[in-house]
Amino acid sequence: MTATDLITVRNAGITGRITVNLPASKSISNRLLVMRALSGGALEVENLSTADDTRLLDAALRTNGNELWMGHAGTALRFGLAWAAVTPGVRTLKGSERLSQRPVGPLIDALRTLGADITCTEREGYAPLRIAGRNLKGGSLTLDASVSSQFITALMLIAPTLEGGLELNLSGKPVSTPYLRMTARLMRSAGVEVERTDTRIFIPESTYAEATVEVEPDWSAASYFYTAVALSRDLEVELLGLSAKSLQGDAAVADIFNRFGVDTRFTARGALLSASEIFDDSDSFDFLSCPDLAQTVAVAAAGLQIPFSLTGLQTLRIKETDRIAALAAELAKCGTGCKAEPDTLHIRHFSDVSDMPSIATYHDHRMAMAFAPLALALGEISIEDPEVVTKSFPEFWAEMGKVLQVVR
């Protein structure tokens, strides 16, 4: 392993107030990119994310070529697949080995029901995919909402282009519902009517109207600085641009960390985080609506040595890595014993660590970012493959370097 494959982060004893610049929301940006492409340029997007996932999707939607590279980006693959199905031309979507292991079968089946021409060139239900785009008729579909909200969002985004519009009937226990609310609100901001309940979504045939939408700062990125305040206790962090009135479900991090002793106060500049009394009165939290916060909270609980159970994690098995297994393995290096179940992670046992742990990131940006603040509790840790953070937060190490000493 070379120096570029590993960095060390240390507790530098930084106190007082620091100000953090957050990246633009990747989730909002990726939805707006598809909407912009389908609007024929009528929609303008300001403050677009510079994350790898957004760059990949943006490039795919703009290219005149017939081979679209999606890297590790599951969102880009799913949204790009739906866009390609309704956009004239023949395209092949492919990505990394891990991306080819992430299932997209339910979305493929739904699009084929609408008349899409999609071929799985290696394994049914997985990338690489060959799509011959064409005009599709709408209709009524039933979709399992317990698998991935991104399948539903992908269909919502193309629904206005479908002849007769689209009715989605949702079965099963829905996951990540705040992301569906986000999609609906963004589409409405661009003049598209969306009727949505917990079990049904109807979007009539229409067009995206001329509009300008500014992307919010990313609440998922903000979560790692909540851990820093929880573990430091002598630090205030100002997160510029955050608002209490957010489209993002991960704004729930403010309420979650309140029980871990972090107070959030909103100002004209953003959110100001400061230490408060730790008063956790429960030992569990259901992450079904905000799965991207699970790694952050697991690491914070470990650092604070608070026994905690994280439930509602079923979608974490099919992310950039099996995040439940990865968390259990890496927390063990940090003296925290976990019990992993299919959709739950129990954090229960704590012991001292004699050697500096080296955290494997499994090509997963959130593993690197979630574990970095743990240096405040352990003194120092090493993070392998640190540049994986560019998937969602290219400036992460520069911003976290305001809280920790980062040694490359």
Taking only the tens place, the pLDDT of each residue in 38-57 is: 999 899 999 999 999 999 99
Is 263 known to be catalytic?
no
Q: Are the beta carbons of 52 and 390 closer than 8 angstroms? A: yes
The distance between the two most distant Cα atoms of the chain, rounded to a whole number of Å, is 64
DSSP state, 260? T
Residue 258 shares a structural domain with residue 399: yes
Please pick, among 292, 322, 364, 385, the residue that the annotation labels catalytic: 292
If one counts every other C-beta atom within 10 angstroms of the C-beta of residue 141, the result is: 18
Report yes or no: 217 and 242 within 8 Å, Cβ to Cβ. yes
Picking from 244, 279, 239, 273, the residue whose alpha carbon sits closest to that of residue 261 is: 279
State the CB neighbour count (10 A cutoff) for residue 213: 20
Domain-ending residue, one of 152, 179, 214: 214
Helix, strand, or coil (residue 154): helix
Q: What's the alpha-carbon Rg for the chain, to the nearest Å?
A: 21
Confidence class for position 1, pLDDT limits 50, 70, 90:
very low
Question: pLDDT: is 147 or 80 the higher one?
Answer: 80
> 315 and 248 in one domain?
yes
* Rounded to 5°, angle at Cα 210 from 205 and 213: 105
Half-sphere exposure of 198 toward its Cβ, with a 13 Å CA cutoff?
6
Residues 6+ apart with CB under 8 A from 170: 142, 143, 144, 145, 152, 198, 199, 200, 201
pLDDT digits (tens, 9 = 90+) for 344-384: 999 999 999 989 999 999 999 999 999 999 999 999 999 99
Chain position carrying tokens 């939408």: 213
Structural domain ending residue among the three candidates 214, 247, 272: 214
What pLDDT was estimated at residue 176?
Answer: 85
- How confident is the model at residue 354, as a pLDDT? 85
Domain check: are 95 and 231 in the same one? no
On whether both 182 and 327 belong to a single domain, the answer is no
Asked whether residue 215 carries a pLDDT value surpassing 60, the answer given is yes
**Where does 178-331 show beta strands of DSSP type E?**
195-196, 200-203, 211-214, 235-240, 262-266, 270-275, 284-286, 308-311
119 and 231 co-located in one domain: no
- Same domain, residue pair 206 and 230: no
Rounded to the nearest angstrom, the gap between the alpha carbon of residue 263 and the centroid of all alpha carbons in its chain is: 23
Describe the strand order of the beta sheet including 137-144 as a list of residue ranges. 137-144, 163-171, 200-203, 195-196
| Residues 154-176, mean pLDDT to the nearest whole number | 95
| Arithmetic mean of pLDDT, 94-98 | 91
What's the confidence (pLDDT) of residue 2? 44
- Alpha-carbon span 66 to 91, nearest angstrom: 4
Question: Is residue 254 domain-shared with residue 197, that is, in the same domain?
Answer: no
Q: What is the pLDDT of residue 280?
A: 64
Contacts of 47 (CB under 8 A, 6+ apart): 24, 214, 215
Return the pLDDT at 369: 98
Residue range 29-34: average pLDDT?
98
Domain range for 391 is: 3-23+217-407
Q: State the pLDDT at residue 408.
A: 87
Res 98: pLDDT: 85
Name the burial class of residue 10, with classes exposed (0-12), middle (13-18) and buried (19+) by CB atoms within 10 angstroms of its CB.
Answer: middle
Q: Do residues 31 and 200 touch, judged by C-beta distance below 8 A? A: no
In eight-state DSSP terms, residue 21 is P
On whether both 156 and 244 belong to a single domain, the answer is no
Shared domain check, 180 and 236: no
CB 71 within 8 A of CB 56: yes
First to last CA, the chain: 13
Q: What's the structural domain count of the chain?
A: 2
291-330 pLDDT tens trace: 999 999 999 999 999 999 999 998 887 777 899 999 999 9
Show which of 214, 242, 257 is a domain's final residue.
214
- CATH code of residue 352: 3.65.10.10
What's the pLDDT band for 278 if we cut at 50, 70, 90? confident
Pair (148, 180) in one structural domain: yes
Upper half-sphere CA count for residue 219 (Cβ side, 13 Å): 25
Handedness of CA 377, 382, 385, 386 (dihedral sign): positive
CA 127 remoteness from chain centre: 20
Give this prediction's pTM.
Answer: 0.92
19 with 30, same domain: the answer is no
Q: Is 129 exposed, middle or buried (0-12, 13-18, 19+ CB in 10 A)?
A: buried
Residues 180 and 127 in one domain: yes
